[in-house]
Amino acid sequence: MRRIRANAIAILTVAWILGTFYYLWQDNKPRSAAAGRSAGGGSGGARSGQRAAGRLELRREERTIPLIDWAIDKEKTGGNFQNGNYRGVGHPAIIIEADVRRGKDLSRESLALKRRRPQNDKDVMGNVFLPLGNWARAPLKMTRAPQGEKNSRRGFDEKAYLSSKVLKAGEDPYRQHAFNQLESDKLSSDRPIRDTRHYRCTSVRYDPDLPATSVIITFHNEARSTLLRTVKSTMSSTESLSRKQADLFGIMVLLGQLEEISAFSVTAHKVAFSFLGPCSVLNRTPPSLIQEIILVDDFSSDPEDCQLLTRIPKVKCLRNTHREGLIRSRVRGAEVAAADILTFLDSHCEVNSEWLQPMLQRVKEDYTRVVSPIIDVISLDNFAYLAASADLRGGFDWSLHFKWEQIPIEQKMSRTDPTQSIRTPVIAGGIFVIDKSWFNHLGKYDTQMDIWGGENFELSFRVWMCGGSLEIVPCSRVGHVFRKRHPYDFPEGNALTYIKNTKRTAEVWMDEYKQYYYEARPSAIGKSFGSVADRVELRHKLSCKSFQWYLENVYPELKIPEKELIPGIIRQGGNCLESQAQDTTGNMLAGMGNCKGTVNNPPVTQEWIFSDPLIRQQDKCLSITSFSTGSQITLEACNQKDGRQKWKMKGSFIQHFVSGLCLENQTGRVVTSPCQAGVPGQQWELLQAT
């Protein structure tokens, strides 16, 4: 039986190999002269190079194969593709759509066909992958670039712009910008990047009337190649092709010479893929969604870094007369922005496919949302575009140090749709979209902050606590160069500037929890941070919630640091607070009894740990039974979120945090009463072990 099975497998393998070779031989054998004339549309056949007008053809070796019969009505703006059957029966039909920007006769161009799979990301540059199969009919939309737009593009000399700032021989490529400028300069300004979105994002539909946005990019002495790539990635076209999608295709169609074709959209097996051609404009972002791109030059050494880019359509340049920093520069850009929606970008980014539509959709649905994309990584060494995890959100520690963290398991389990937005406690701050009126209502940025750092926490706290929300939109992807050091100087030094900015945030927004900021960052104690009176007034004017509300409702995962817990006794004269018999519900009652043992070695029933805001005895905590006067005191399972268990030491009083009532000994019975300085039963002494 085993031998029969082995023979069967061998026979099937040989049959498969022979079938494959036969298919390849059939696909590559020379065609008849009649077929060549039919394909070429003339008597000269394939070698003559003559082709019928209005027909897009595909050249392979020494023959010409009709790819698509194409009819164009020059009097109208549309046409259609006719069916041109090219072998491959049984393969899925595909749809091809082309958007022609300059309106020349495409029949003069040819497509070179080559059968192979991509070897790496660079291998897909300038290429589109199409399977053999029956070519289906599809609409062809013909559009022409506005004359003014073409003239403006011709006015910008990209080669001259970039060549004037190339590195000198032997110069350290990392020195000036803290990334490998040499690698950046080698790349095209509209290089192709892989579509890193979840595959379901391609089927998400957005409103056709999304609002336009003003894109605001601030920079100081940015490398010209990265700055230009940031600008052009929001405007110009590049290929966008995932490795998984590329592997579905077995034939590569080279588009190196098809300058007039701006985009192909291919549908196979009900999955749509987009391939953007090399020379079109506004393909990564629909032109109607970009009202303007505002570059804010924060007093760079060379004013032409910004000024020359205004020759690109929709690009405007603002130059500071002295160094202001990212925060005040962004405010300046926002103040002159003409659109109702603001999009902030860093100056070393590359946007991905359909990056803007998902964020605009969320803001359109609720103007109080502030939305950010998933931020992919652009390597600072070789500028490889690397996909970031879709399960991350923004977080921080008590020193106000930003960090990426995993989505809590509860939130992850509740997300049934990978395209669903992710609530985030804070955003990274470099890339986000916000309604302009909401930005102004919230008080823009704290303009007393300097240069960079901490502004993302201040904005994030303000948005959440004053009625808004923060989201990360998974179907929006933007690449960013993350550097290991700052390439520019801070007037007061990097550390002092960051301390000043974060200290302003803590003093205005963190209430009594700011003590944990100072414990985590003791170097901030005593450092000058300027006046925050106007920001405190703004918080009061906006009726913002407390930082405790933020911790409980937005970021409960941020744990309050536990101090070193030292046990002790709670004494009043010769009596001590202790746990006694159970009440009718099974909870232990708190009462008074004669102090026993010593402070260092009390009985278990009289040993307490004051772990603000809880008073603990083993795994039970002191709790009130009601918020009114005379409430009985019990011991229940500790729960830091339970308001009945929150206490604080106020002098010699033990005061309930929520009700404001004080713990009182009434002849051995412990209850809550209004705090009164002259009542001996409310005077307590906390003695800790030594």
Place of tokens 């690698």: 183
23 closest CA partner among 248, 246, 250: 250
Radius of gyration of the chain (CA): 34
**What region does 367 belong to: left with phi over 0, alpha with psi -120 to 50, or beta?**
alpha
What are 153-205's pLDDT values in tens digits?
A: 457 899 999 998 888 888 999 988 989 999 999 999 889 899 999 999 999 99
Report the percent of the chain where pLDDT is more than 70: 72
Domain map (residue ranges) of the chain: 31-144+237-280, 147-236+281-481, 568-688
551 closest CA partner among 541, 561, 564, 543: 561
The CATH number of 147-236+281-481 is: 3.90.550.10
| DSSP helix, strand, coil percent of the chain (3-state; round to 5) | 30, 30, 45
Q: In one letter, which amino acid is 296?
A: V
Please give the pLDDT value at position 602: 92
More confident residue, 3 or 588: 588
Q: Is the model's pLDDT at 523 over the cut of 60?
A: yes
Please give the pLDDT value at position 240: 40
Question: Which residues partner with 403 through β-bridges?
Answer: 395
pLDDT band at 281 (very low <50, low <70, confident <90, very high): very low
Chain mean pLDDT for the chain: 77
More confident residue, 305 or 588: 305
What are 29-41's pLDDT values in tens digits?
A: 444 333 333 333 3
What are 357-397's pLDDT values in tens digits?
A: 999 999 999 999 999 999 999 999 999 999 999 999 999 99
Fold assignment, 568-688: Trefoil (Acidic Fibroblast Growth Factor, subunit A) (2.80.10)
DSSP H stretches of helix in 60-180:
147-155, 158-163
Q: Can you tell me the distance from the alpha carbon of 441 to that of 17, in angstroms, rounded to the nearest whole number?
A: 70
- 362: part of which helix (H) or strand (E)? helix 356-365
Give pTM, 2 decimals: 0.62
Please give the pLDDT value at position 4: 78
Q: Which residues contact 179 (CB under 8 A, 6 or more apart)?
A: 223, 226, 348, 380, 381, 383, 481, 483
Residue positions counted in the chain: 690
Please give the pLDDT value at position 299: 92
- Omega of the bond prior to 208 within 30 degrees of 0, cis? no
pLDDT band at 254 (very low <50, low <70, confident <90, very high): very low
Q: Is the model's pLDDT at 238 over the cut of 60?
A: no
